[in-house]
């Protein structure tokens, strides 16, 4: 998006709210734009509900609206479409989707937060576009809307005038990107520091996803192989070793992996080992060589390469981010918000 607004021009942000909306999906972006106004930005934020009445969020908090959707007559620079736990009901409500389309027509940029992507997709606004949503729902988005190219690991995705972001707090990341578009990196950096958040957080959504269980398979011989890998990721799991365990040829076990697991044996083993390493780093204090040995990576360097390749962060950074919130320590937060 080109920075086409002057630094003195006022930009209008319209946030659409509805009953059951997730509170942080709304307040996260609003805080970013409000904070930007303290550092040279000029945003005017307005909250719109379908009829102009207050709504009750999924947290039970009441949110007042500034105006109704029909009162949004002038084009806005940014339209924020938040999500909510009841998205499955909302995407079947044709009248509600018409409201989303109506608002989009008056927006220079439309941005969704979390499951708000489902509302845009159901309204047909993401057809043929790249998009993302909360990692827990990305598969559903892809299945329900095959015309949408789902980028499941991205924190936010921009495709033309449409932007989508991952779960809840990712709305902050998306909003910071918009501030940078509108007023430059210095203003966005000042907002990030003020809110004590990453200007650009390391890694993607993979680092937040739930541990994957061994996939279901119809073949008992393959089930034994999958269970063996899950039970002892650090063991000798070469392709010939897995074939011997299954009692079939290397070619046959490779074919079974493709058909039943959807990947190669080597990639499956690496994924299980990666998840085992994540658990060790989250819950223990073992040094990196021990983590690497016990999870089958062999060396800290191999462990580091796997983390960077799949998660976008080093094992050390992962441990630091997920072991504690840092409460009660005197460590500086300057690195977290540094450019």
* Residue of 61, 307, 65, 53 whose CA lies nearest to 203: 307
> Phi and psi (nearest 5°) for 10?
-85, 135
Interaxial angle between packed helices 185-195 and 23-36, expressed in degrees from 0 to 180 and rounded to the nearest 10? 120
Burial of 183 (0-12, 13-18, 19+ CB in 10 A): buried
CA–CA separation, 100 vs 69, rounded Å? 9
Do you know the residue count of the chain? 339
Task: Indicate the burial class of 237 (C-beta count within 10 angstroms; 0-12, 13-18, 19 or more).
Answer: buried
Spatial neighbors of 141 by CB under 8 A, at least 6 apart, are 117, 118, 121, 131, 133, 148, 150
- Measured on CA atoms in the order 241, 243, 246, 249, is the torsion positive or negative? negative
Of 267, 263, 269, 264, the residue nearest 250 (C-alpha): 264
Greatest Cα-to-Cα distance within the chain, rounded to the nearest angstrom: 72
User: Is 114 a known active-site residue?
Assistant: yes
Q: Are 318 and 307 in contact (CB under 8 A)?
A: yes
Edge-to-edge order in the sheet of strand 110-112: 67-68, 43-49, 11-17, 78-81, 110-112, 162-165, 156-159
Q: Which of 17, 65, 76, 114 is catalytic?
A: 114
**Is 150 exposed, middle or buried, given 0-12, 13-18 or 19+ CB atoms closer than 10 A?**
buried
Report, as residue numbers or ranges, the catalytic residues.
Answer: 114
């Amino acid at each position: 998006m080109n920075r086409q607004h002057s630094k003195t021009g006022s930009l209008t942000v319209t946030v659409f709210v509805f009953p059951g909306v997730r509170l942080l999906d709304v307040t996260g972006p609003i805080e970013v734009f409000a904070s930007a106004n303290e550092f040279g930005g000029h945003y005017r934020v307005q909250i719109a509900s379908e009829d102009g009445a207050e709504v009750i969020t999924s947290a039970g908090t009441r949110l007042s609206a500034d105006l109704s959707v029909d009162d949004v007559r002038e084009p806005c620079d940014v339209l924020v479409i938040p999500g909510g736990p009841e998205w499955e009901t909302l995407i079947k409500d044709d009248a509600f989707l018409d409201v989303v389309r109506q608002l989009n027509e008056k927006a220079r940029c439309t941005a969704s937060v979390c499951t708000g992507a489902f509302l845009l997709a159901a309204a047909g606004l993401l057809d043929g576009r790249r998009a993302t949503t909360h990692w827990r729902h990305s598969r559903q988005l892809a299945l329900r809307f095959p015309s949408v190219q789902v980028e499941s690991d991205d924190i936010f995705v921009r495709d033309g005038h449409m932007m989508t972001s991952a779960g809840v707090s990712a709305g902050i990341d998306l909003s910071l990107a918009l501030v940078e578009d509108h007023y430059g990196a210095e203003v966005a950096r000042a907002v990030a520091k003020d809110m004590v958040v990453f200007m650009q957080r390391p890694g993607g959504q993979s680092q937040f996803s739930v541990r994957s269980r061994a996939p279901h398979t119809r073949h008992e011989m393959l089930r034994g192989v999958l269970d063996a890998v899950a039970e002892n990721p650090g063991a000798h799991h070469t392709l010939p070793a897995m074939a011997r365990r299954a009692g079939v040829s290397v070619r046959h076990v490779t074919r079974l992996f493709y058909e039943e697991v959807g990947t190669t044996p080597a990639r499956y083993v690496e994924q299980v080992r990666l998840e085992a390493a994540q658990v060790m780093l989250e819950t223990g204090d073992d040094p990196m060589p021990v983590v690497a040995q016990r999870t089958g990576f062999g060396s800290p360097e191999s462990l580091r390469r796997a983390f960077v390749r799949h998660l976008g962060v080093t094992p050390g950074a992962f441990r630091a981010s997920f072991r504690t919130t840092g409460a009660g320590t005197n460590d500086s937060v300057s690195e977290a918000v540094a450019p």
